[in-house]
Structure 1
Amino acid sequence: MNRPRLSTPAGIIVNDAPRSAYVHIPFCRRRCFYCDFPIYVVGDRGLQNPDHPVPRSITTYLNALQTEIHRTPRQNAQPLETVFFGGGTPSVLTGEQLGRILASLDRQFGLAHDAEISMEIDPGTFDLTGLRAYQQAGINRFSFGTQAFQPELLAGCGRAHTVTDIANSMAMLTQAGIDNYSLDLISGLPNQTLAQWQDSLHQAIAYQPTHISTYDLTIEAGTVFGKRYRPGDQPLPSDDTTAAMYRLAHQVLSEAGYNHYEVSNYAKPGYQCQHNRMYWENRAFYGFGMGATSYLQGHRYPRPRQLQTYIDWVEQFDPQPPASPLAPHDLLLDTLMVGFRLAEGIALPPLQPTFGDRLIQAVWQCLQPYIRTGWLEAVDAANTAQTASAPWQTIERLRLTAPEGFLFSNVLLVKLFDQLDES
């Protein structure tokens, strides 16, 4: 298995050539109560019967997906360095089906020999034979949707798997010799206590994954939770409790040797998710499949979020659909919003040629108060801390502190957006 490369801190890359591809696999056994992703619910029994409409729907979708890949022009000579199968539940598919998609990507764009190829995978959706088939297909990084280690919390948010499924999945990982995998956890679930969250963190660490993601529950309109609760309602944990959960995750995971390299993500040395870094560095990427979005040459190209609409769209596929590139003001906002998610933050000098002195000065003026609060750090080229009174031309990098700056990043970003709207 190839060991993923570790990115070194660099300036945000704006509008570069794509070297990553996201592939959306929309099929799920059921819709979780917090989910507003574009998915297609297939249940359980239909997957076992080749004459059932579900397998036919999957075949039709995969054919459309490969057609889209083949009709998409290659933007540069560089091969893909990362591929991410997200969903949905990609582990609903077989290794052979994922292998065909990877073969299509390789033919059209090329795959680097050491490419990071990730897939989301849910406990209870695969066996050891299936896991080895994913490895054979070329998957070398697995992202497990664990979410919690308490049966009542899993049931309460509509997850299809059990705590036993988690344990069985981890045992299969060991049998398959897989050591590069991530566990996902969710904080702020209804009725979740700080003690339960601490227990989930410790149980996750006990499995020794190379990467752990911790996401705070967001109540989305139209979801089951969106119909049941409003933010701040019980039995949702209070804001103070969710803040305590965030701080606790930082403490526990940092002490266990995980680097808090992004707002919601922790990694052992050498195991940051290279694909997700591509988003946070505002790099160009291909997006394929229902509900996916490409970001190419400053344009965003969304796909339809419904299965049949997407299939119909592929039949009329225009490889260069009309779209307007982001205005410099909006591009800067996007760059700051994603860049501040990373622990190394934003490098200012690479932004100046694109956005000019006036916008960079407006950013610096807006952010100076947060250096005083301790949420933000400014350093020069020698990595020496600078005060809020320093001129922006002396600043090499701005970065949020962990955990407090990360915790209050939305406050900072709202102020920043308001400031730039007035500039």
Structure 2
Amino acid sequence: MAAQQIATVSPAASKAKPQDEVPTAAYLHIPFCRRRCFYCDFPISVVGDRARGETSGTIAQYVEVLEREILITGQDGRSPLETVFFGGGTPSLLSVAQVDRLLTRLDQHFGIATQAEISVEMDPGTFDLSYVQGYRAAGVNRISLGVQSFQADSLQACGRTHRPEDIPLAVDLIRRAGLDNYSLDLISGLPHLTLERWQEDLDRAIALDPAHLSIYDLTVEPGTAFAQRYRPGEAPLPTDEATAQMYRLAQQVLTQRGFQHYEISNYARPGYSCRHNRVYWENRPYYGFGMGAASYVNHQRFSRPRTRREYFQWVETLEAAGGRLAHPTTPPQERLLDTLMLGLRLADGLDLLRLELEFGKGAIARILTCLQPYVQRGWVDQTPSRIRLTDPEGFLFSNVVLSDLFETLSESPV
């Protein structure tokens, strides 16, 4: 698989506006889970512990509709896909044949580049060696493993289906299948989590030698089981200061162990940042397919319905329209705010020349004036060519910086 290094955008490259490019990334939402995790507000369908792609008519029907959506989607130019991401849900509930079929449809319709990054989210305990080998034979070359925690009580508090002992077994299967590009997901801020136990989670994750680590702070979303049981900052959840310390600890431990903190929640060995997710953070266009999935094509950002029945009806409407549905164009003001919100998540930050070419000198002047107090506070690093949040303090207080930027820019539209 081609290595992906973190690189800045040269002035020459900055002259191209990313929103005008033909999408070269595709996200496929696979919504099926054995059960719903207590913190989850994603569009998913619970299928129980026994259902799999080979045995479930529900999953088979969804895959068939997903194929139809791919094949009817209009092409704006012809550029092969450089990244494909199967997210969920639990995509590892799909059969090898179903993953192969979906990749074949994408290749037939858009083309898939020879060195494309093809990722699949997988949960420990949902696959054996034959699945990983089959996925790899179909073209998958990157695995994102949903670990979340190595603590048994934390996993139970989250409603996860796997146990701590399932995690190293899952990693062993991935390695035996010949895949060295695998990522582990961890969540800080879980119930009963202390700084000492968080250190243990980090150490155990590093011991499994992943190429990539995603570190997410728990968000208590309205309507979830967590929201009914817990209030942010109140026991048994850690305090806000404790979760901030967990963030600082992760940054210190992982960077000392050779990981690059290339995005606010993501760390990678050199050459292994997630190419697909960088498309989002760099506000470049992408295709989305499946229930609840979002697309950003031709300055148009839109999402599909979040239930299967409504999604199936939406695909029928798309077919009746010949693959083209009207969506509102994202106005320049919203594109600027999206660009700031996403781009400042990256350690690279944002290229000021690129911003100026797209949004004008006036917008850049207002942005730089707004950021001056945060430069003085040490949360923002500003050079003649770039702005970026500092690590870790700027990343920790990114919401404060962005809220101020949004308020400032809303007063003077682009």
TM-score (norm 2): 0.95
- Deviation (angstroms), 1:43: 0.5
Matched, 1:202 2:206: no
Question: Does the Cα contact within 8 Å between 2:54 and 2:94 map onto a contact in 1?
Answer: no
SS in 1 for 2:301: strand
SS in 1 for 2:192: coil
Task: Render the CA deviation track for 1:95-118: whole Å, top value 9, x for unaligned.
Answer: 111010000000100000000000
Task: Render the CA deviation track for 1:292-334: whole Å, top value 9, x for unaligned.
Answer: 0110011012111001111121112142222221211111000
Identify the residue that residue 99 of structure 2 maps to in structure 1.
Answer: 98
The correspondence of residues 54-69 of structure 1 with structure 2, limited to 5 A, is: 55-69=56-70
Question: Does the Cα contact within 8 Å between 1:18 and 1:76 map onto a contact in 2?
Answer: no
Equivalent residue in structure 1 for 2:325, among 315, 321, 326 = 321
Identify the residue that residue 382 of structure 1 maps to in structure 2.
Answer: none
- Deviation (angstroms), 1:421: 1.0
Matched, 1:81 2:82: yes
Aligned counterparts of 1:373 and 1:407: Cα–Cα separation in 2:
13
Question: Does the Cα contact within 8 Å between 1:213 and 1:266 map onto a contact in 2?
Answer: yes
Question: Does the Cα contact within 8 Å between 1:343 and 1:399 map onto a contact in 2?
Answer: yes
Equivalent residue in structure 2 for 1:413, among 399, 402, 405 = 402
Aligned counterparts of 1:244 and 1:339: Cα–Cα separation in 2:
24
Question: Does the Cα contact within 8 Å between 2:52 and 2:94 map onto a contact in 1?
Answer: no
Matched, 1:348 2:352: yes
SS in 1 for 2:51: helix
The correspondence of residues 38-53 of structure 1 with structure 2, limited to 5 A, is: 38-47=43-52, 50=55
Matched, 1:266 2:267: yes
Equivalent residue in structure 1 for 2:28, among 17, 23, 27 = 23
Give the letter aligned to residue 382 of structure 2. Answer: A
Give the letter aligned to residue 316 of structure 1. Answer: T
Give the letter aligned to residue 209 of structure 1. Answer: P
Give the letter aligned to residue 354 of structure 1. Answer: E
Number of equivalenced pairs:
403
Give the letter aligned to residue 39 of structure 2. Answer: Y
- Deviation (angstroms), 1:49: 8.2
Identify the residue that residue 8 of structure 2 maps to in structure 1.
Answer: 9
Question: Does the Cα contact within 8 Å between 2:260 and 2:267 map onto a contact in 1?
Answer: yes
- Deviation (angstroms), 1:213: 0.4
Identify the residue that residue 398 of structure 1 maps to in structure 2.
Answer: 387
Question: Does the Cα contact within 8 Å between 2:29 and 2:89 map onto a contact in 1?
Answer: yes
The correspondence of residues 228-377 of structure 1 with structure 2, limited to 5 A, is: 228-317=229-318, 318=321, 319-377=323-381
Question: Does the Cα contact within 8 Å between 1:4 and 1:274 map onto a contact in 2?
Answer: no
SS in 1 for 2:160: coil
Q: State percent identity of aligned pairs.
A: 53
Aligned counterparts of 2:215 and 2:366: Cα–Cα separation in 1:
32
- Which runs of no fewer than 5 residues in structure 2 stay unpaired? none
SS in 2 for 1:186: strand
Distance 1:7 1:48, change over 3 A: closer
Distance 1:49 1:138, change over 3 A: closer
Aligned counterparts of 1:46 and 1:177: Cα–Cα separation in 2:
27
The 10-residue stretch of structure 1 (354-363 or 245-254) with the greater mean CA deviation from structure 2: 354-363
Aligned counterparts of 2:308 and 2:385: Cα–Cα separation in 1:
46
Aligned counterparts of 2:40 and 2:223: Cα–Cα separation in 1:
9
Aligned counterparts of 2:404 and 2:371: Cα–Cα separation in 1:
8
Distance 1:176 1:268, change over 3 A: same
- Deviation (angstroms), 1:48: 8.8
Give the letter aligned to residue 395 of structure 2. Answer: F
Equivalent residue in structure 1 for 2:382, among 378, 383, 386 = 378
Identify the residue that residue 387 of structure 1 maps to in structure 2.
Answer: none
Question: Does the Cα contact within 8 Å between 2:122 and 2:143 map onto a contact in 1?
Answer: yes
Give the letter aligned to residue 403 of structure 1. Answer: P
SS in 2 for 1:46: coil
Task: Render the CA deviation track for 1:70-119: whole Å, top value 9, x for unaligned.
Answer: 00011222100000000000000011110100000001000000000001
Identify the residue that residue 42 of structure 2 maps to in structure 1.
Answer: 37
Aligned counterparts of 1:282 and 1:15: Cα–Cα separation in 2:
11
Question: Does the Cα contact within 8 Å between 1:13 and 1:283 map onto a contact in 2?
Answer: yes
Identify the residue that residue 214 of structure 1 maps to in structure 2.
Answer: 215
- Deviation (angstroms), 1:177: 2.0
Identify the residue that residue 386 of structure 1 maps to in structure 2.
Answer: none
- Deviation (angstroms), 1:7: 4.5
Aligned counterparts of 1:174 and 1:320: Cα–Cα separation in 2:
42
SS in 1 for 2:180: coil
Aligned counterparts of 1:61 and 1:358: Cα–Cα separation in 2:
48
- Deviation (angstroms), 1:16: 2.3
Task: Render the CA deviation track for 1:206-265: whole Å, top value 9, x for unaligned.
Answer: 011000000000010111001112222221100100000000000000011000000000
Distance 1:346 1:49, change over 3 A: closer
Question: Does the Cα contact within 8 Å between 1:280 and 1:338 map onto a contact in 2?
Answer: yes
Aligned counterparts of 2:132 and 2:348: Cα–Cα separation in 1:
35
SS in 1 for 2:360: helix
Question: Does the Cα contact within 8 Å between 1:95 and 1:136 map onto a contact in 2?
Answer: no
- Which runs of no fewer than 5 residues in structure 1 stay unpaired? 380-394
Aligned counterparts of 1:265 and 1:243: Cα–Cα separation in 2:
16
Question: Does the Cα contact within 8 Å between 1:258 and 1:268 map onto a contact in 2?
Answer: yes
SS in 1 for 2:223: coil
The 10-residue stretch of structure 1 (169-178 or 105-114) with the greater mean CA deviation from structure 2: 169-178
Give the letter aligned to residue 418 of structure 1. Answer: E
